[in-house]
Amino acid sequence: MSREEALKIVRENVKNKNLIKHMYAVEAVMGGLARHFGEDEELWKLAGLLHDIDYDQTKDDAASHSLVGGEMLEEAGLPEELVYAVKCHNDYHGLERKSLLDKALYATDPLTGLIVAAALIRPEKKLEPVDVTFLVNRFHEKSFARGARREVIASCSEMGLTLEEFMEIGLKAMKEAHQELGL
């Protein structure tokens, strides 16, 4: 599936502009991780772009979120490994994260929220002045970006990355996509 085809599915199913920006951010970071690990960049970016495709429908039902999305993506003909990664990014279901793709999507989802929050507290409201040291410091502030689940971000160790390495890859990828993200 091309990015244009994926964006069509996004536009048909997601109306919240901030959620779409979140999906773009996860797409960007997943692309950065794919490059880092020598994986299929297009597949990983599609997983990031489409991971919350069902959120408008399931936002009040954690038991359905990601399972409905997985079914939607399966029906659209996407590869099983992408479908499974989408399903297991919601830890509500208790699905084992087996592949590197699964682990990357799981850890990336909240990382993007932390990075966006760090940019938005800067006077410029931009990603450019944010660096890894600033992110690490915000990570350790329990009151900062409470929705960005630290234990999930820290699961980057399951990919063999330190927190700093993961943040560096994510921040660089999001800076490259700053125009699309509006940051």
Q: Which residues of the chain fall below pLDDT 50?
A: none
Residues 6+ apart with CB under 8 A from 17: none
Nearest C-alpha neighbor of 4 from the set 34, 35, 42, 31:
42
Cβ contact 31:24 at 8 Å: no
Q: Which two tokens stand for residue 33?
A: 């991780």
Q: What's the pLDDT score for residue 23?
A: 98
pTM here is 0.97
Domain membership of residue 161 as a residue range: 3-181
Q: Which two tokens stand for residue 74?
A: 């399966």
Q: What's the pLDDT score for residue 159?
A: 98
Residues 6+ apart with CB under 8 A from 59: 65
Q: What's the pLDDT score for residue 1?
A: 94
Instruction: Please tell me the total count of domains within the chain.
Output: 1
Q: What's the pLDDT score for residue 25?
A: 98
Q: Residue 75: give its domain's CATH number.
A: 1.10.3210
Q: What's the pLDDT score for residue 35?
A: 98
Cβ contact 87:95 at 8 Å: yes
